[in-house]
Chain A
Amino acid sequence: MHLLTTTRDTLLAPLQSVAGIVEKRHTLPILSNVLIEKQGERLTMLATDIEIQVRTISTGDLGGEDASITVAAKKLHDILRALPDTAEITVNIDDKRMTVKAGKSRFALQTLPAADYPTMNLPEGEGTRFSISQKLFKRQLAQVAYAMAQQDIRYYLNGLLLIAEGDQLRMVATDGHRLAYAANPLEAAITRTEVILPRKTVMELNRQLADTDDTLEVTLAGNQAVFRFGSIELVTKLIDGKFPDYERVIPQHHPKMLAFDRVQLLSCLNRVAILTNDKFRGVRMVLEDGRLRIVSTNNEQEEAQEEIEIDYQGDALDIGFNVTYLLDVLNNIGTESVEWRFNDGNSSALITLPGNDTFKYVVMPMRI
Chain B
Amino acid sequence: MPSIKPLSDLLINQIAAGEVVERPASVLKEVLENALDAGSRAIEVQLEQGGVRRIRVVDDGCGIDRNDLPLALARHATSKIATLDDLERVGTMGFRGEALAAIAAVARTRITSRANGEPHAWSIEGSDLSLSPAALNCGTVVDVAELYFNTPARRKFLKTEATEFAHCDEVFRRVALARPDIGLQLSHNGRVIHRLPPADPQARTGALMGDDFLAQARPVDADAGALRLSGLVSLPAYSRASRDAQYFFVNGRFVRDKLLTHAVRQAYQDILHGNRHPAYVLFLELDPAGVDVNVHPAKIEVRFREARAIHQFVFHAVSRILAASGAASASEPLSSSIPNHAQGTQTSVDLPPSPPPTRYQAPLRSYGPGPQAMESANHRYFDFVAGAAAPGNAMQGTSNQSGAPAADVPTDGAPLGYALAQLHGVYILAQNRSGLVLVDMHAAHERILYEKLKAVVDGRPSIQRLLIPAVLRLDARSMAVAEECTEVLVGMGFEVAPVGPHELSVRSVPTLLANAPIADLVRQLLDELGEVPASEVITARRNELLATMACHGAVRANRSLSIPEMNALLRDMEATERADQCNHGRPTWTQLSMSELDRFFMRGK
Contact = CB atoms under 8 A, between A and B. Distances in A.
B467 A249 contact: yes
Nearest to A273: B375
Contacts of A348: 465, 467
A177 interface: yes
Contacts of B391: 150-151
B342 A328 contact: yes
Interface string B510-537: 0110100101100000000000000000
A200 B462 contact: no
A279 interface: yes
Contact of A346 (B364, B379, B465): B465
B108 to A, nearest CB: 47
Interface in A29-51: 49
B342 A174 contact: no
A19 interface: yes
Interface in B444-471: 452, 460, 462-468, 470
Interface in A204-225: 206-207
Interface in B338-389: 338-344, 349, 351, 358, 360-362, 364-365, 367-369, 371-372, 375-376, 379, 382-383, 385-387, 389
A178 interface: yes
A199 interface: yes
A3 interface: no
Contact of B341 (A151, A179, A206): A206
Interface residues of B, number: 56
Interface in B172-194: none
B390 interface: yes
Interface in B142-199: none
A6 B65 CA distance: 93
Given A151-B389, A270-B372, A279-B386, A25 B335 contact: yes
B511 A331 contact: no
A186 B517 CA distance: 38
B371 A146 contact: no
Contact of A331 (B336, B372, B462): B372
Given A24-B351, A74-B360, A279-B512, A327 B375 contact: yes
A363 B514 CA distance: 14
Interface in A221-258: 244, 249
Nearest to A327: B372
Interface string A11-30: 00000100111011100000
Contacts of A150: 340, 342, 387, 389-393
Contacts of A273: 375
A320 B382 CA distance: 18
A364 B360 contact: no
| Size class of the contact patch on chain A | 35 or more
B367 A364 contact: no
A146 B463 contact: no
B358 A78 contact: yes
Contacts of A107: none
Contact of B468 (A24, A176, A279, A280): A176
Contacts of B392: 150-151, 199
A79 to B, nearest CB: 12
A157 B514 CA distance: 15
A311 interface: no
A362 B333 contact: no
A132 interface: no
Nearest to A364: B465
Contact of A176 (B343, B393, B466): B466
B423 interface: no
A282 B512 CA distance: 11
B367 A146 contact: yes
Contact of B364 (A149, A174, A207): A207
Contact of B514 (A177, A200, A328, A368): A177
Contacts of B335: 24-25
B269 interface: no
Interface in A345-368: 346, 348, 362-368
A62 interface: no
A150 to B, nearest CB: 4
Contacts of A147: 342
A178 B467 contact: yes
B584 to A, nearest CB: 23
B333 A25 contact: yes
B342 A146 contact: yes
B368 A331 contact: yes
B239 to A, nearest CB: 14
Given A78-B360, A270-B372, A279-B452, A20 B337 contact: yes
Interface string B388-401: 01111100000000
A346 B467 CA distance: 11
B134 interface: no
B334 A177 contact: no
Nearest to A74: B360
A324 interface: yes
Q: Count chain B CB atoms within 10 A of each CB in A146, A147, A199, A331 and give the residue with the most.
A: A331
Nearest to A179: B467
Closest 3 CB pairs of A and B: A331-B368, A150-B392, A146-B342
Given A24-B351, A145-B367, A207-B365, 9 more contacts: A146-B342, A151-B392, A178-B467, A244-B468, A278-B382, A279-B511, A281-B379, A324-B383, A346-B465
18 contacts: A19-B361, A25-B335, A142-B341, A145-B342, A146-B368, A153-B389, A177-B465, A179-B468, A244-B468, A273-B375, A280-B511, A281-B382, A322-B464, A332-B367, A332-B368, A348-B465, A348-B467, A366-B464
